[in-house]
């Protein structure tokens, strides 16, 4: 471990000074000792990729990027794929007609005979920039860690652009016979990204009966008066359109509901599964579901990314994982409760009438 720390420190110092050949000589012997799945191996390979890029050895850098693309970490895999795309980008060739010739004509030297002869020779000879197809040698690398700074900026830019959308879905389950859906998609960048615009167009085209609102940053979808089965079907239609308008294949959401009647009260059970394992290549994507319930829910499975506020569940979805929540809540049986209240009022009225009849009245009786 001491050799690794010392080598990594020396390699970083060499990169900062633009000494890429020295960095390669330091790191190359250590690559075989540390696998691409270890933390040390990842760090060494990232440094070596930067050094290879600085000396135009893209083939060697690509080999290391392909090793990192098999890492268990989603972030390392995504960064490796981004680097592969950068290294595989074509080099632009300079057209021949971009070459510029400079002529140097001397016509005003007339003071002496010698100067006249010299001016004639200069006029007959054209001077131009020497251009040859023969390689001139390796381009000198930039100094002061230019490649490292560029690499860091590219990684940060990719992370910023990949997580520029916030998706919120509100489910109002307070009346299971009339459920409301409110879906909001908000861009966190300056303008909406292309897939978001395509998704909005397809939603408006295929769901003309829905209430939709949109501006430069947000897009709202509202649907009212749905049953549980209709909610499941509608959400899966949204997901299907999202799969068609983005390069990601989303899986259907599954909503299971069951209830148990205890005469005057009901026990409701909900299970919601949303598999986002295919969304691991989009980091920092904010997705959440807010579920409104008629009473305070009880979470049955261990879920750390939820909050319960005034009976509402705020569920933060995690890309790259199987998101699942199971919970129950209790609700009064409205039909049975109404029937019981009616019977009680009728029985109470009967008791009052009977007690008044037995007590009689204070009015005088007529003679018989």
**What are the pLDDT digits (tens) for 214-272?**
777 788 899 999 999 999 999 999 889 888 887 778 889 999 999 998 877 889 999 99
Q: Looking at the domain assignment, is residue 278 inside a domain?
A: yes
- pLDDT the model gives residue 327: 94
- pLDDT above 90 as % of the chain: 14
Residues 214 and 313 in one domain: yes
- pLDDT above 70 as % of the chain: 71
Rounded to 5 degrees, φ, ψ at 35 are -75, 165
Nearest to 258 by CA among 326, 198, 338, 311: 326
- pLDDT the model gives residue 280: 65
Residues 12 and 28 in one domain: yes
**Between 141 and 105, residue with greater pLDDT:** 141
Where residue 271 falls (left for φ over 0; alpha for ψ -120 to 50; beta otherwise) is beta
- pLDDT the model gives residue 115: 47
| pLDDT tens string 144-202 | 555 566 655 555 444 444 446 778 889 998 888 899 999 888 876 556 767 778 888 88
Query: Which residue, chain included where needed, has tokens 């006249």?
Result: 116
**Between 26 and 91, residue with greater pLDDT:** 26
Q: Do 162 and 284 touch, CB atoms closer than 8 A? A: yes
C-alpha pair distances (Å), 131 with each of 9, 93, 101, 103: 42, 14, 10, 15
HSE of 354 in the Cβ direction (CA atoms, 13 Å)? 6
* Domains held by the chain: number: 2
Query: What mean pLDDT is reported for the chain?
Result: 76
Q: Looking at the domain assignment, is residue 359 inside a domain?
A: no
- pLDDT the model gives residue 105: 47
Query: Which residue, chain included where needed, has tokens 């008791």?
Result: 351
Q: Where are the beta strands (DSSP E) in 57-107?
A: none
Please give the residue range of the domain that contains residue 244.
Answer: 166-335
**What is the gyration radius of the CA atoms in the chain, in angstroms?**
38
In whole angstroms, give the CA distance from residue 13 to residue 26. 11
CA 277 to chain centre: 12
Q: Looking at the domain assignment, is residue 124 inside a domain?
A: no
- pLDDT the model gives residue 143: 55
Burial track 143-159 (b if 16+ CB lie within 10 A, e otherwise): eebebbeebeeebeebb
Residues 32 and 177 in one domain: no
Nearest to 7 by CA among 54, 145, 33, 68: 33
* Lowest-confidence segment of 161-165, 309-313, 337-341 by average pLDDT: 161-165
Q: Looking at the domain assignment, is residue 257 inside a domain?
A: yes
pTM strictly above 0.95: no
């Amino acid at each position: 471990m001491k050799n690794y720390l010392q080598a990594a420190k020396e390699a970083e110092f060499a990169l900062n000074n633009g000494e890429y050949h020295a960095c390669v000589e330091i790191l190359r012997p250590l690559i075989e000792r540390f696998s691409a799945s270890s933390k040390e191996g990842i760090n060494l390979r990232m440094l070596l990729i930067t050094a290879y890029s600085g000396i135009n050895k893209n083939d060697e850098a690509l080999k290391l990027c392909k090793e990192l693309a098999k890492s268990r970490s989603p972030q390392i895999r995504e960064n490796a794929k981004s680097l592969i795309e950068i290294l595989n980008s074509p080099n632009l060739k300079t057209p021949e007609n971009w070459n510029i010739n400079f002529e140097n004509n001397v016509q005003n030297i007339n003071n002496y005979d010698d100067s006249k002869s010299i001016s004639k020779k200069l006029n007959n000879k054209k001077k131009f920039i020497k251009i040859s197809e023969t390689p001139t040698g390796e381009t000198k690398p930039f100094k002061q860690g230019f490649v490292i700074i560029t690499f860091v900026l590219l990684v940060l830019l990719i992370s910023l652009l990949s997580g520029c959308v916030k998706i919120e879905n509100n489910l109002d389950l307070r009346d299971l016979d009339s459920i409301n859906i409110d879906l909001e998609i908000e861009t966190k960048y300056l303008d909406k990204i292309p897939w978001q615009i395509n998704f909005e167009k397809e939603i408006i085209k295929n769901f003309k009966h829905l209430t939709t609102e949109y501006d430069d940053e947000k897009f709202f979808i509202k649907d009212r008066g749905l049953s549980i089965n209709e909610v499941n079907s509608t959400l899966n239609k949204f997901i299907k359109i999202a799969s068609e308008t983005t390069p990601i294949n989303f899986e259907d959401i599954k909503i299971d509901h069951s209830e148990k009647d205890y005469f005057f009260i009901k026990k409701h059970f909900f299970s919601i599964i949303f598999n986002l394992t295919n969304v691991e290549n989009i980091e920092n994507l904010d997705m959440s579901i807010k579920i409104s319930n008629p009473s305070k829910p009880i979470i049955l499975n261990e879920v750390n990314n939820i909050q319960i506020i005034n009976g509402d569940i705020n569920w933060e979805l995690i890309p790259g994982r199987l998101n699942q929540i199971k919970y129950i809540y209790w609700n009064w049986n409205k039909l049975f409760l109404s029937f019981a209240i009616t019977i009680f009022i009728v029985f109470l009225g009967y008791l009052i009438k009977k007690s008044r009849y037995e007590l009689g009245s204070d009015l005088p009786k007529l003679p018989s």
